[in-house]
Chain A
Amino acid sequence: MIRHARRKISVLVAAALLALSVAACGDGDDDSSTQELKPGQKVTLEFWSWVPGIDKAVDLWNSENPDVQVKLSTITVGTSGGYAKMYSALEAGNAPDLAQVEYQELPSFLLADGVEEITQYGASDDADKFVDWQWEQVSFGDEVYAIPQASGPMAMFYRQDLFDKWGIEPPTTWTEYEAAAREIREHGAYIGTFPPGNSAWFTALAWQAGARWFGTDGDDWTVDIDNEATRKVAEFWQRLIDEDLVKTEPDFANGWYKDLQEGQIVGWVSAQWGDAILRGNAPKTAGNWRVAPMPQWDDASEFASANWGGSSTALLKGADYPEEALDFAVWLNTDLEAVDLLIQGGYGWPAASDAFSGSVLDRADPFFGGQRYNEVFADADEHIDKSWQWIPTTSQTYEHLNDGFQAAIEGDGTFVDAVEQAQGLTIDDLEKKGLPVAGE
């Protein structure tokens, strides 16, 4: 056990030392002024991202811009440790110039003073190149803090071969979804999984149901997680789980991939970027998948989809060549060739306006049996409530929901309890950060 103990100690020591070096450089770094490029000077920008295929777009830029080279480092997905890496690098004063930051994490970066305000470098000039609501996701007050990259309009992937074999129609409402789930169980399979450790997915479903969890009221943040729409979603999934109509295994994990490969799970309500996940992890099911619009709530007045995931390219604090970095960020997310490369990697739905028609998205796909499946997502993208906002402690809210859902699945409380608790705990989180919360 000695090595065990020692190794842990050394990790902590390393962490503490890191923090020390942070304290040492913290003061000096603040006034590091940005540098003007001299003619003929070559610069190298560092860029951290986890988006598959982004290396090809970076290569393209590097071949076209010999003076401004971008050095890409592939890091783990933000919520799995990538953000932790960025925050520590920021604390240590050696952050990269550019980084992948999801919309829901951006307010946390603002609060940690981790991103550059880029309006000062003329970012607003590029606003009309992007879809409105995604531009809103990177704007706070009058300033812009990142360049939008992609979003995740949602629909339902399903195994048409098995649905046909069992005589089941793809559900158009959540009531039909429940009925279909029941029929699929009779054939020993499941319609999907409820991932108790991935509350971003649950959040998107609440978004579709009409919930607005976060907002601002004057100078105060507002929190409204525990509302009727969210409770409706929570009760729905609670019932499906209680009756064993859906699995409760984690998504994006080996067991789940195996279930997808073997037809044990035959559907997935997911974002557009889910296509790359299916292609990559269940290649032998090619040709059997189709995409249908997201099931609707019976009492919904009009068709609604939601957004799951969504990312931006941000300039991290202390970027040495902000203007060049901004040029790259805008190019990466608007240049048609670059966007096509990103789409092929499966980065999601382009934030650049008019990037759909004529792109590689806009064609029949053999994996989906020749369906022009992205038309479903294009329509979904038109029907997302665009006023959704995030708070600086969103990741903590996810953790609270994860904890509550996991406890409920273990038989301790219900999903509605989890939602109720998340409401109170989220207000605590904001207040602990010293942030004002309306009505508290």
Chain B
Amino acid sequence: MRRHDARTAAGFLAPFGILFALFFLLPIVYAIYQSLFTIERTGALGLGGEEQVFAGFDNYVDALQEPGFVDSLGRVVVFAAIQVPVMIVFALVLALLLETASARGVPFFRTAYFLPFGVPGVIASILWGFLYVPGVSPIVGALDQVGIHVDFLGGDTVLLSIVNIVTWEFVGYNMLVLVAQLQSIDPNLYEAARVDGASGWHIVRHIKLPMVRPAIVLTTVFTIIGTLQLFAEPLILKPVSTSISSHYTPNMAAYNEAFSNNNYHLAAAEAVLLALVAMVLSFGFLRLIGRGGDRR
């Protein structure tokens, strides 16, 4: 009977396990393997032939010496520093508003906020691109009319313009995660609090926020990972902005290295480095939160 159970369990796990290994573990192993090799060329002008040789950590050293790549890492960290609080606070505010007792038209607004999530990132970026380009954008045009000249695609602003797109795309999704957690709170708690004389704000501060803490942590970790992997939005805006370089984000740098410069090995090293940074930041955040929890 035991063995039968184990076999059943294995049978149910197998589809996931096989696909996970094939499409997740194997590529990671292959990327790490790739990152340890390099191409050596021989012959006149180097066009004679090539050979793949073991390079140890040379590609990693090269990547970290590449000013463009290091800058791009710095840029997404800045981006995350802005994006994560904006995203979480905004999602939380929307979720709390939808869950207030006096809220009207909740199903409509919930759907409306969530709708942009159904728009693929590429389409969203094209859409917002039109709203950013001077001469085409009604927003820029209207602001010009009242004497405000704003360049959404300039060096100081384009990062914020991307924050706006990403927020528009994903705030509804994060809101929904928070709403789900809010709805699981026992209404008796609110009643008890009110009997004790708690105001609406007190209920939010001392009941709702602590109770949705796990959902906030979850959405924060996803947002951190997502922002570090920023790719489609800047890639789509690149042709219309003079301020986005080909290695604006680490993913773009790796993409460019692989498919424009044909240096798959360096690209693999850059991808592995990005994964490490994402891991350090995500686990770092979880540790930080964990410790805060202990003290309380």
Residues on A with C-beta less than 8 A from B223 are 1
A221 in contact with B121 (CB, 8 Å): no
Binds A, one of B10-18, B34-42, B197-205: B34-42
In chain A, what residue has the closest Cβ to B87? A1
With A16-B31, A20-B27, A219-B45: A248-B135 Cβ-Cβ less than 8 Å: no
A17, A110, A253, A262 pick with most chain B CB within 10 angstroms: A253
Binds B, one of A126-134, A201-209, A432-440: A432-440
State A430–B240 Cα separation when bound (angstroms): 30
Q: Which of B47, B121, B242 is within 8 Å of A409, CB to CB?
A: B242
State A409–B241 Cα separation when bound (angstroms): 12
A249 in contact with B136 (CB, 8 Å): no
User: Would you give the 0/1 interface string for A213-234, flagging 1 where the beta carbon is closer than 8 Å to chain B?
Assistant: 0001001110000000000000
**A327 within 8 Å of B by Cβ?**
no
B240 in contact with A7 (CB, 8 Å): no
Q: Say how far A3's CB is from chain B's closest CB, in angstroms.
A: 7
**A176 within 8 Å of B by Cβ?**
no
Binds B, one of A54-62, A79-87, A283-291, A302-310: A79-87
B241 in contact with A250 (CB, 8 Å): yes
B262 in contact with A87 (CB, 8 Å): yes
State A419–B117 Cα separation when bound (angstroms): 43
Q: Which of B23, B27, B173, B264 is within 8 Å of A3, CB to CB?
A: B173
In chain A, what residue has the closest Cβ to B39? A434
Residues on B with C-beta less than 8 A from A410 are 154-155, 243
A435 in contact with B46 (CB, 8 Å): yes
State A403–B255 Cα separation when bound (angstroms): 17
**A37 within 8 Å of B by Cβ?**
no
**A277 within 8 Å of B by Cβ?**
no
B23 in contact with A17 (CB, 8 Å): yes
With A219-B45, A221-B45: A258-B135 Cβ-Cβ less than 8 Å: yes
In chain B, what residue has the closest Cβ to A91? B264
Q: Which of A7, A16, A262 is within 8 Å of B27, CB to CB?
A: A16
A83 in contact with B264 (CB, 8 Å): no
B24 in contact with A254 (CB, 8 Å): no
User: Would you give the 0/1 interface string for A229-244, flagging 1 where the beta carbon is closer than 8 Å to chain B?
Assistant: 0000000000000000
**A300 within 8 Å of B by Cβ?**
no
Interface size on B, residues (CB 8 A): 59
Residues on B with C-beta less than 8 A from A152 are none
Beta-carbon contacts under 8 Å, B26-56 to A: 26-28, 30-31, 34, 39-41, 44-47, 50
With A253-B239, A410-B243, A434-B40: A8-B259 Cβ-Cβ less than 8 Å: no
In chain B, what residue has the closest Cβ to A252? B239
Residues on A with C-beta less than 8 A from B135 are 254-255, 258-259, 262, 264
Chain A contact surface mostly: helix
Q: Say how far A157's CB is from chain B's closest CB, in angstroms.
A: 19
Binds B, one of A65-73, A183-191, A343-351, A393-401: A393-401
A2 in contact with B46 (CB, 8 Å): no
Q: Say how far B39's CB is from chain A's closest CB, in angstroms.
A: 7
Q: Which of A5, A84, A255, A395 is within 8 Å of B240, CB to CB?
A: A255
B45 in contact with A435 (CB, 8 Å): yes
State A253–B262 Cα separation when bound (angstroms): 27
With A4-B169, A5-B225, A435-B41: A197-B239 Cβ-Cβ less than 8 Å: yes
Residues on B with C-beta less than 8 A from A110 are 47
In chain A, what residue has the closest Cβ to B264? A19
**A12 within 8 Å of B by Cβ?**
yes
B245 in contact with A433 (CB, 8 Å): no
A253 in contact with B133 (CB, 8 Å): yes
**A43 within 8 Å of B by Cβ?**
no
B133 in contact with A5 (CB, 8 Å): no
Residues on B with C-beta less than 8 A from A434 are 39-41, 46, 50
Residues on A with C-beta less than 8 A from B263 are 432-433
State A225–B28 Cα separation when bound (angstroms): 40
With A17-B27, A83-B260, A111-B47: A4-B239 Cβ-Cβ less than 8 Å: no
State A239–B94 Cα separation when bound (angstroms): 50
B117, B245, B255 pick with most chain A CB within 10 angstroms: B245
Q: Say how far B203's CB is from chain A's closest CB, in angstroms.
A: 27
In chain B, what residue has the closest Cβ to A11? B231
Q: Say how far B126's CB is from chain A's closest CB, in angstroms.
A: 10
State the A residues within 8 Å of B (CB): 1-5, 7-9, 11-13, 15-17, 19-20, 23, 80, 83-84, 87-88, 91, 108, 110-113, 140-141, 196-197, 216, 219-221, 248-250, 252-255, 258-259, 262, 264, 392-393, 395-396, 399, 402-403, 406, 409-410, 429, 432-436
State the B residues within 8 Å of A (CB): 23-24, 26-28, 30-31, 34, 39-41, 44-47, 50, 62, 68, 87, 117, 121, 130, 133-136, 154-155, 166, 169-170, 173-174, 219, 222-223, 225-226, 229, 231, 238-243, 245-246, 251, 255-256, 258-264, 271
26 pairs, CB–CB < 8 Å, chain A vs chain B: A4-B166, A7-B121, A8-B231, A12-B271, A13-B24, A16-B27, A17-B26, A19-B27, A19-B34, A84-B255, A84-B259, A111-B46, A216-B45, A250-B241, A253-B239, A254-B136, A255-B134, A258-B136, A259-B135, A264-B135, A399-B246, A399-B256, A406-B245, A410-B243, A432-B62, A433-B41
Known: A395-B260, A435-B45. 10 other contacts (CB 8 A): A5-B226, A8-B229, A13-B27, A20-B30, A23-B30, A250-B242, A262-B135, A264-B135, A432-B263, A433-B39
Report the 8 A-B pairs with minimum CB-CB distance, sorted nearest first: A16-B27, A84-B259, A1-B222, A435-B46, A4-B226, A410-B155, A434-B41, A8-B229
